[in-house]
Amino acid sequence: MDDLYDEFGNFIGEEASASEEESERGIDAGAYVYDDYAESAPAEEAMDVDDEVPSNAVILHEDKKYYPSAAQVYGEDVEARVEEEDAQPLTQPIIAPVEQKKFHIEEVDLPPVFFNRDFMTDLMNYPSQIRNIALAGHLHCGKTAFMDMLVMETHDIADRLERRIGRKRDEQLRYTDVHVLERERGVSVKSAPMSLVLQSTKGKSHLFNIMDTPGHVNFVDEVAAGLRLVDGLALVVDVIEGVQSNTEQIIKHAVLEEIPITLILNKVDRLILELTIPPNDAYFKLKQVIEEVNRLIHSTCTKLGQSEEARVSPERGNVLFACTDMGWCFTLQSFAKMYADTYQGVDTNEFARRLWGDVYFNPEKRTFARKPPQDGMVRTFIKFVMEPIYKLYSHTISDSPEDLKPVLEGLGIVLKPSQYKLDAKVMLKLVCEQFFGPSTGFVDMIVRHVPSPVDSAEKKLKRYYTGPLDTKVADRMKECDQDGPLVVYVTKLYNTVDAKRFLSLGRVMSGTARPGMQVRVLGQGYSIDDEEDMAMGTISEVYIPETRYNIPTDGIPAGSWALLGGIDNSIVKTATIVPPKLEGDEDAYIFKPLTHITESVFKVAVEPINPSELPKMLDGLRKINKSYPLITTKVEESGEHIILGTGELYMDCVLHDLRKLYADMEIKVSDPVTRFCETVMDTSATKCYAITPNKKNKITMIAEPLDDGIAEDIESGTVKISDPARKTAKFFQEKYEWDMLAARSIWAFGPEEMGPNILQDDTLPSEVRFSHFLLMLYSESQVTVDTHTQFPSFPRRMQVHVSGGGL
């Protein structure tokens, strides 16, 4: 080897052959062609490619390609990651599997039902057979349990639930509570819509669209959103607790919205098992609760100047007696039918009218009288209704199986031998289900006292529609015409299971909602003069809402509820869905935004722990604003992101959804602050004033109470500051007898143009160099000062005098 080099290190050996030279210096990178079409390309094309890059071109070291790239090996649509050795622990995968987060309980498959789902969709074509109602009441009064009773009657899921989740027979189902917080806390947070086919006592089927609403006072916004879609209210009251605070608010709101009220007296068995009072005392307790409800209805109707047709009474058939734990309910008419089926010749309606009040039965003459024929006689309700129920409970709980069996057989109740060995509560429920039968009394009550979508359409339009009622579109909505132009009133948004998008729940007022339809989404800020709050969209999906599962369908006609997908991007709270072009080029109008029972007074500030996640938090706040009807999110002048809610529980649920569902991040939350409100009981005795910095203007202020009724008109939208000044002045002149100068000097309503306050210029002609303003303020009948205490307030009127020469 030493002979090949001289003393200076120069090579002096023989020239190497071509093969050896290639092995030493390596093969040229240009020889490798990593083109997918290289093998199939013709020879001429390959030569053309080689001609583009001269063989003697200089190729830098960093440009040489010794191996094919990952995209050439695996394809362009595959993401490739290169990791250093030992960069991650062995327990952590390099590419983690995709996890789909679920925050709601959802049925994997459609559960079996006792009715035909095709028959349910056919019923939608007959609006007269549809009833839209809401179940509302105070916390823990039994609304969700009543819904469970209807679900178990229509769904064949009892055995499946026991096998899958180990549910016991005496454990509450809570079928409409699907949110994780609802399951953990045992409190409904969201309103839950569900469509069921139920039969009346005559065997006629009806489609019931039922909205199960929360009972906690913090979630009254869900009740307000649900009442916009319904034609009647089923008020649930616990007979032991009676009318409570939230029950009173719901009654007042329903009367204000002119929604028919039916009463469900729930937990009647507590009078027997807990209070253990005799049947006569149980009658007076039931009567007291009914009178308390009627007293509230009467006082609210009197204040609003409405008729008292909303009165509830058992003999009228709009009061239902129920026990959701035992799975039974009845009206006087349905209970009288049980006697008519047993004894021939009994007139159900006439007998039912005599089962309430001071009516007594004379067994000797077999007649009814208003006074007891003899001492010791009891009222017909006690004799024919309460005493049989008491005896049924007493025998089932206390008798031995040998003594109980003949008693039940005499009533037509048959139990299996193994069922006599069950727990007393479980066996009592089986006995009551056979004795009372299905909830046909509830169906009869709703069908009789709640109007169908066709009958209530005109009233809905007069109250909520902002457009004229003499147009073709309005006529189609009055008729619930499924062949007319599509008009959907959306009041609620529900997130999907993965919380990535929302489905819009609305009532189809006209036409038929079908997938693939091009529509215009009109937000609550839309008007003919300002079309900014409008967006074009396409309905991607149409579902029949069933809470735990949704039934996809090819169309939902007018009169029913529909869950619409693909149009939620531009909807914040409420919206009106219309076609891109109406008949005859008519102008599109919206339905009124929600008017809530209460206001948001609980405030917190939020910010991300990691500042770089601010856009993520803002997207979560946007989704929170969609999910909760009453929530308010805004940015203050200081730059803080503020959330306004109704109370502690409400805010806790909001922050949970922000952290876990929508933003999936940790946030910092400030200490809560409660907004205080004041009121004015009399005209100010003194004038408050302030001087502007230039010392040339002086502002004086006085306050006085506001006339009764003005606040309600402003909040309900009867009068708007956006209306022409002449129209506003005429309204106050005619209804409240304001003088012309005062009516024409109104400057603003506030706060946010819908608040019950008025700013008025009260300048007198004699004040040449002075300006005189009048500000009339009004607050709600109850003002929340903190989360536990409420103080009453009154209508108020504040007078502001502004004087100076530099205005």
Residue 520 is given by DSSP the state: E
Q: What is the pLDDT of residue 95?
A: 74
Evaluate whether 142 touches 266 at the Cβ level (below 8 Å): yes
Take residue 270 and report the two structure tokens written for it: 């507590």
Give dist(CA 564, CA 505) in Å, integer.
6
> What HEC string does 58-77 produce?
CCCHHHCCCCCCHHHHHCCC
More confident of the two residues 82 and 433: 433
Band of residue 757 on the pLDDT scale cut at 50, 70, 90? confident
Strand order, beta sheet including 192-199: 192-199, 205-212, 130-137, 232-238, 261-266, 319-323, 328-330
Q: What is the pLDDT of residue 170?
A: 54
pLDDT above 60: residue 587: yes
Least confident of 34-48, 266-280, 499-513, 553-567: 34-48
Taking alpha carbons only, the member of 654, 692, 694, 693 closest to residue 672 is: 654
Residue 572 is given by DSSP the state: S
pLDDT above 60: residue 460: yes
Evaluate whether 522 touches 530 at the Cβ level (below 8 Å): no
Band of residue 48 on the pLDDT scale cut at 50, 70, 90? very low
Q: What is the pLDDT of residue 789?
A: 31
pLDDT above 60: residue 769: no
Q: What is the pLDDT of residue 235?
A: 97
pLDDT above 70: residue 356: yes
Band of residue 451 on the pLDDT scale cut at 50, 70, 90? very high
Q: What is the pLDDT of residue 248?
A: 93
More confident of the two residues 567 and 36: 567
Q: What is the pLDDT of residue 613?
A: 92
Which range has highest mean pLDDT (206-215, 712-721, 784-793)? 206-215
Percent pLDDT > 90 in the chain is 54
More confident of the two residues 679 and 20: 679
In one-letter notation, the amino acid at residue 209 is N
pLDDT above 90: residue 617: yes
Q: What is the pLDDT of residue 55?
A: 58
Band of residue 768 on the pLDDT scale cut at 50, 70, 90? very low
Least confident of 464-478, 536-550, 583-597: 583-597
Least confident of 94-98, 264-268, 781-785: 781-785
Evaluate whether 800 touches 777 at the Cβ level (below 8 Å): no
pLDDT above 60: residue 38: no
CA angle 393, 395, 399 (to 5 degrees): 135
Q: What is the pLDDT of residue 204?
A: 94
Q: In 10 A of CB 164, how many CB atoms?
A: 9
Kindly report the length of the chain. 807
Contacts of 740 (CB under 8 A, 6+ apart): 729, 733
Band of residue 463 on the pLDDT scale cut at 50, 70, 90? very high
pLDDT above 90: residue 13: no
Q: What is the DSSP string of 728-751?
A: HHHHHHHHH---HHHHHTEEEEET
The pLDDT tens digits of the residues spanning 467-522 come to 999 999 999 999 999 999 999 999 999 999 888 899 999 999 999 999 999 999 99
Q: What is the pLDDT of residue 37?
A: 43
State yes or no: cis peptide before 751, omega within 30 of 0.
yes
Give dist(CA 196, CA 81) in Å, integer.
52
Identify any residues that bridge with 236 across adjacent strands, giving them in sequence order. Answer: 137, 264
pLDDT above 50: residue 75: yes
Q: How far apart are the first and last CA of the chain?
A: 108
The pLDDT tens digits of the residues spanning 221-273 come to 999 999 999 999 999 999 999 999 999 999 999 998 999 999 999 999 999 99
Is residue 601 classed as helix, strand or coil in its secondary structure? coil
* Stretch 164-190: mean pLDDT: 78
* Stretch 3-26: mean pLDDT: 59
pLDDT above 80: residue 458: yes
* Stretch 622-628: mean pLDDT: 93
Band of residue 596 on the pLDDT scale cut at 50, 70, 90? low
Distances (CA, A) of 12 to 18, 24, 211: 18, 17, 99
pLDDT above 80: residue 112: yes
Q: What is the pLDDT of residue 788?
A: 30
Give dist(CA 260, CA 133) in Å, integer.
10
Take residue 703 and report the two structure tokens written for it: 């306050």
Band of residue 165 on the pLDDT scale cut at 50, 70, 90? very low
Band of residue 703 on the pLDDT scale cut at 50, 70, 90? confident
Q: Which residue, chain included where needed, has tokens 């604003």?
A: 625
Least confident of 300-314, 422-436, 561-575: 300-314
Q: What is the pLDDT of residue 704?
A: 77
pLDDT above 90: residue 685: no
Band of residue 180 on the pLDDT scale cut at 50, 70, 90? confident
More confident of the two residues 729 and 198: 198
Mean pLDDT of the chain: 83
pLDDT above 90: residue 722: no
* Stretch 199-222: mean pLDDT: 94
The pLDDT tens digits of the residues spanning 372-400 come to 878 778 999 999 999 999 999 999 999 99
More confident of the two residues 45 and 88: 88
Residue ranges and CATH numbers for the domains of the chain are 261-449 (3.90.1430.10), 602-674 (3.30.70.870), 688-804 (3.30.230.10)
pLDDT above 90: residue 541: yes
* Stretch 387-414: mean pLDDT: 93
Q: What is the DSSP string of 213-239?
A: ---SGGGHHHHHHHHTT-SEEEEEEET
Q: Which residue, chain included where needed, has tokens 């400030």?
A: 670
pLDDT above 90: residue 191: yes
The pLDDT tens digits of the residues spanning 281-338 come to 999 999 999 999 999 999 888 877 776 667 899 999 999 999 999 999 999 999 999 9
